[in-house]
Structure 1
Amino acid sequence: MKERDILAFGSIVIDNLLIVNKFPALNETIQVEKYRYTFGGAGANVAVAVSRLGGKSGIFAVSGYDFKKMGYEKCLTEQLVDIRGAIFTKEFPMARSFIVSKENSEDQILYYYEKKKRTVQLLFENRNLAEKLSKDYKILHFSTGHFEFYKAFLEKHKTKHLISFDPGQETFSYPYRVVRLLKYTNILFMNNHEAKRIKEVLKIKSIKQLRGPSLICVSLGAEGSIILYKEKVYRIPAVKPSKVIDPTGAGDSHRAGFLVALLKGYDIKTAGRIASTVASFTIEAEGAQTSLPTWEKVVRRYEHFFKEPFPEPSTSWKETEKELLSRN
């Protein structure tokens, strides 16, 4: 019986955040204004955001020998994230990302895996664990991670789940691996740059021509997002934050907000608005998990921004799930 909500596949990462006034040019040295290390990784970011919103989340990812020492294990446990799928190893540390961030601009991100091939091996060695855990969940969300494992897992996956997919920057590194996963996908999340790349790879003129996912959500940064569903286009505005500090993780919290809203029985347009509201909190502090909101905070900001009472759910999860499981 599926008693939990969202199992996030992805990564557990230590984010090294560098705030700058401008991005460096080739061979240029610039002053870093602020440095922080925070907890991150797309999979973990989604899991924590879901939990903060009142959902029951879990993570399936490889951690590292410093997972406990650096306090990440404790953080996830305190946030009520199910960490049965956090694969511990004594062989190497957690992955690191180095995020160069400029105010009112996009990030530049570099990733470091000490033993990437061994990380993939550990995922395959624990595929039965992933299958076992997935039986407890309603939605399986796949984010930036190891797509060869995702493909193998989904090919053999026997239980019918709603599959959510956010390929992120892997769209540029491994676009054909992204394309291979689309046939398993019910909900696809991308930003406008990633959507453009997929159109180039598939030689299509519009993302509407994409076959596979029932619903496609394309983030447009400060211009909000568009949602393509059942021949309709929903245009969702970006909710204004109280301040802009760091955009890291805004996409992950957006995905979490959207999925939690669907689970609560909200229609597609309202779920998009809720997701936009959730994302607005993330950019108000340094780090992807630092300022994630509770559901109550989302309700208040939603009402303030959209100038209307927070709506009641209009459907049921079972009805939404049935519709989304029918792919294009």
Structure 2
Amino acid sequence: MRIAVSGSIATDHLTVFPGRFADQLVPSQLHHVSLSFLVDDLEVRRGGVAANIAFGLGGLGLAPLLIGAVGTDFGPYEVVLKEQGVDTSGVLVSGERQTARFMCTTDQDANQIAAFYAGAMAEARDIDLTTLIGNAAPDARPDLVLIAPNDPEAMLRHTRQCRELGIPFAADPSQQLARLDGTQVRDLVDGARWLFTNEYEAALLLERTGWTRDDVLDRVGTWITTLGSHGARAECADGTTLRVPAVPDVPVVDPTGVGDAFRAGFLAATARGLALKAAVRLGCSVAAEVIRTVGSQSYDAAADRLLANLTAAYGTDAAEEIAPYLAVVTREGGDSS
């Protein structure tokens, strides 16, 4: 099964504030907040939701197609992705803008305040899936396209083109829910094989669309909601609901990219035919590796580490169920920069 990932490609500028954001907020002054945080560390890392997910899929032995827009500064980043097994032929290089940048500060409670500069991402709307995918040879045509956060017009266009081409798609509007109106969110979600959100985004999605939870489930195959330290929940239209706990006792170094890693693990599992519960478990196992490291592409996706997480969280039988599907993972997802 071949997976294409359409979405943002960015550079992450990650800083750490040694205190708590909440301690700096004065309730009576929230109508005109003006704050500056003196941070201790700065890490510049590769990121972007689509690139993070594609990196994870590549590290798990798949060969995902990455679709997005970047600047002329993308060269060194592209080398790393190709070494990870990512097909970058779907990446548009802008001649006018730099690659997008994500600027994030994390406090000691793992709360985050972030800003995102779109840059070249604004040109992702110019990528035509009909040309890129529709004319591809049958063996190069993806079996699933994940529509991740991106330029809103690109998200809408690529979703529409998946429907026109008859290619199953997964919806991951996440960070862009704040920018999208109800009609746009409904268009992105309706008909998705998989819908990904975190718990807050799930509530925001319902508010934006005006749908009930049952309305959403009537329109998607399965709704996957990540629950942070509590793991993840999967809900199906037939009424099936399962909860999978997170891997326990994982030191939280940096939460950036954890949700992207979960998606990579989950989609890699489903691509290899694993059942829903096993796929959620593998997603949680990969997510546990990311949260141990700084940056979203610095983790080790080696099979032995993932199986150790699975054993610790879900038992030997669960690890043994997934082990054969990890046998193809020969790369180690360490930082190649």
TM-score band by shorter chain is 0.7 to 0.9
Which residue, out of 4, 10, 29, partners 2:7? Answer: 10
Q: Give the RMSD, CA atoms, in angstroms.
A: 2.2
Residues 20/92 of structure 1: CA separation in 2 closer, same or farther (3 Å cut)? same
Which of residues 98, 101, 104 in structure 2 aligns to 1:96?
101
Q: Distance in 2 between matches of 1:51 and 1:61?
A: 16
Alignment of 1:122 with 2:122, yes or no, is no
Quote the residue 1:142 is aligned against.
Answer: 147
For residues 238-261 of structure 1, give each alpha carbon's deviation from its aligned partner in whole angstroms, at most 9, with x where no partner exists.
113542111111101101111111
State the partner residue of 1:326.
none
Match of 1:193, SS? helix
1:300 to 301, 308, 323: 308
Q: What CA distance in whole angstroms lies between the structure 2 residues aligned with 1:127 and 1:98?
A: 33
2:172 to 166, 170, 177: 166
Contact 1:64 1:94 in 2 (8 A): yes
Which has the larger share of helix? 2
Instruction: Show the 5 A alignment for 1:1-328.
Output: 5-21=2-18, 22-23=20-21, 25=25, 26-68=33-75, 71-114=76-119, 117=122, 119-124=123-128, 128-132=131-135, 135-157=140-162, 158-176=164-182, 177-205=184-212, 207-210=213-216, 211-229=218-236, 230-240=238-248, 242-309=250-317, 310-312=319-321
How far residue 167 of structure 1 moved from its aligned partner, in angstroms, is 0.8
The change in CA–CA distance for 1:183 and 1:29 in structure 2 (over 3 A counts) is: closer
**Any idea what SS the aligned residue of 1:169 has?**
helix
* C-alpha contact 2:173 2:188 (8 A) present in aligned 1: no
Query: Which one-letter code corresponds to 2:274 in the other structure?
Result: Y
SS of 2:3's partner is strand
How many percent identity over aligned positions?
24
Letter of the 1:123 partner, please give it: I
Q: What are the Cα deviations for residues 214-263 of structure 1, in whole angstroms up to 9, with x where unaligned?
A: 10011111111110023111011011354211111110110111111112
2 CA distance for matches of 1:56 and 1:120? 21
Superposed displacement of residue 73, structure 1: 1.2
* CA distance in structure 2 between the aligned counterparts of 1:45 and 1:189, rounded to whole angstroms: 15
Separation in structure 2 between the aligned mates of residue 53 and residue 153 of structure 1, nearest angstrom: 25
Counterparts of 1:116 and 1:305, CA distance in 2: 38
Q: Are the aligned partners of 1:85 and 1:130 in contact in 2 as well (CA < 8 Å)?
A: no
Please give the secondary structure, in 2, of the residue aligned with 1:72: helix
**Deviation of the 1:39 alpha carbon:** 0.3
Unaligned 5+ runs, structure 1: 317-328
Deviation by residue 1:198-228 (Cα, 9 ceiling, x = unmatched): 22223345x2331311100111111111100
- Distance apart, 1:85 and its partner CA: 0.8
- Note the residue ranges of structure 2 that are not aligned, 5 or more in a row: 26-32, 326-337
Aligned mates of 1:162, 1:311 — CA distance in 2: 30
